[in-house]
Structure 1
Amino acid sequence: MSFVQAFFGEKFVSVMADGLAGDGKGNIISEYFEKFKVYNDDFVFGVTGSSRIMETIFDDVERLVNQYPNGRVMGMLANTIGNAKPSDNIDFLTVIMFDLSGESVVGMIQKIGETDISLMAPRGQEIKYLGSGPKDVSADLINAKIASLWKEAGEISDVAQIKNIQLKLNEFVSSQSPSTVNNNVKTFIKFI
């Protein structure tokens, strides 16, 4: 499994992912796997699941981004992921996507085989969170930790504060599920 998380607002996005990757059969194959990629400086795609599946999807996304506008790529990927049938190898796959090419950030999260997606475009000072974590750490527990970290941070004035919250959140999730999440993180921050 994996932990891919993002905080984003109308004018920025900050994505972070741990580096632990497995082969889908319980074997660790990398401590420093890149679980999200940035294409054309304007399209960010992150995914959880086995490394084999991630690499295949990253190749497919690169091909699409080179052929179509970002908004259309998001729609095509959402349709493909929503219509996919979960199997033993990919029942937990979740994707996070961001289109940074417009006037504001548009983010999306979707699980394989589910047509319900969360598509968000924050307004003003609003900051949104998207994330996908290990099955053995409840979303409620992660959300409670986020609320605690926000409260501790006080007023958020820059992306460095958000990155610090993301690091603390990753440390928390990796302490809850050390066999599936580590602290070897990769970060992407962009203002638009």
Structure 2
Amino acid sequence: MSFVSVYAMENFVNVVSDGQVTDPTGKITNKNYKKFVKIGQQQFMAFAGNQGLAEQAVKIVPFKNEGYPLSVLAQDLHKQVLTIPVDDASILLAVGGLNEKNEIEVISFSNRTDQKNYFNPKGDEIAYTFLTNTKNNISDEISETKLNQFLSETGYNTSSKAIRAQKKLNDFISDNDSTVNKVTFELNIKKR
């Protein structure tokens, strides 16, 4: 599994993922695999890293129409993820959407660090995070630079503009990493 971008502003959050699953030997096992699920009407979980571990995480967070308290969910999931040795497998997760205060919230974490990234954008503030387990280790800094370049081309303040930039970023990553493909899946959640 390879590349997911999450982009949020005060009124919306987008998730864009590529569709490729590559096993540890480099063999492509799936070209059309969506790397996020809805866990509530207005909430999602996105994932990258080991496919089996991601699917286990999805199973322990069933869809609930009303969703979850996102901070509590992230804390509980992160505790479980940290029990997985990085040398065994990598797992990167993000949960987000509308929280119990009807605000956009995104929290990302992995088994690589005990820190979580928390985003609750206000006004014109932009928040984004990348879940990446790429073969060529394209850094978050490169992804951030390219995303900002694409946002300057597409615009940034609406969901559709941001999704265009996110898809361009996915294409850039795909052109530079064989574990990412150009098949994309997208999810948009808007503030009510």
Q: Percent identity between the aligned chains?
A: 23
1:9 corresponds to 2:9: yes
Shift of 1:160: 0.8
Aligned residue identity for 1:87 = D
Distance change (3 Å), C-alpha of 1:18 and 1:25: same
**Normalising to structure 2: TM-score of the pair?**
0.87
Corresponding residue number in structure 2 for 1:141:
142
Equivalent residue number for residue 78 of structure 1: 78
> For residue 39 of structure 2, what is the amino acid of its counterpart?
Y
In structure 2, what is the equivalent of residue 62 of structure 1? 62
Cα pair 1:17 1:186 within 8 Å, conserved = yes
For 1:153, the aligned partner's letter is T
Deviations, residues 11-69 of structure 1 (Å, cap 9, x unaligned): 21100100001233422111001211111213211111232222222112228999964
Q: Report if the CA contact (8 A) 2:13-2:104 is conserved.
A: yes
**Structure 1 contact 7–129 (Cα < 8 Å) conserved:** yes
Contact 2:70–2:95 (CA<8 Å) still a contact in 1? Answer: no
TM-score for the superposition, normalised by structure 1 = 0.87
CA, structure 1 residues 151+99, in 2 after alignment: closer, same or farther (shift >3 Å)? closer
Aligned length: 188
What residue is the counterpart of 1:95 in the other structure? 93
Distance 2:65 2:109 in 1: 18
Q: Return the letter of the residue paired with 2:33.
A: F
Q: CA contact under 8 A between 2:39 and 2:64: conserved in structure 1?
A: no
Q: After the TM superposition, list the runs of 4 or more consecutive aligned residues in structure 1 that deviate by more than 3 angstroms.
A: 63-71
Alignment partners' CA distance in 1, 2:71 and 2:145: 32
Letter in 1 for 2:122: R
Aligned to 2:185: 186
Aligned residue for 2:123? 124
The structure that is helix-richer by fraction is 1
Unpaired stretches in structure 1, ≥5 consecutive residues: none
Q: Deviation per CA, 1:67-89: give whole Å up to 9, x if none.
A: 9644422221122223432233x
Higher strand share: 2
Cα-Cα RMSD: 2.3
SS of 1:186's partner is strand
Q: Which amino acid aligns with 2:7?
A: F
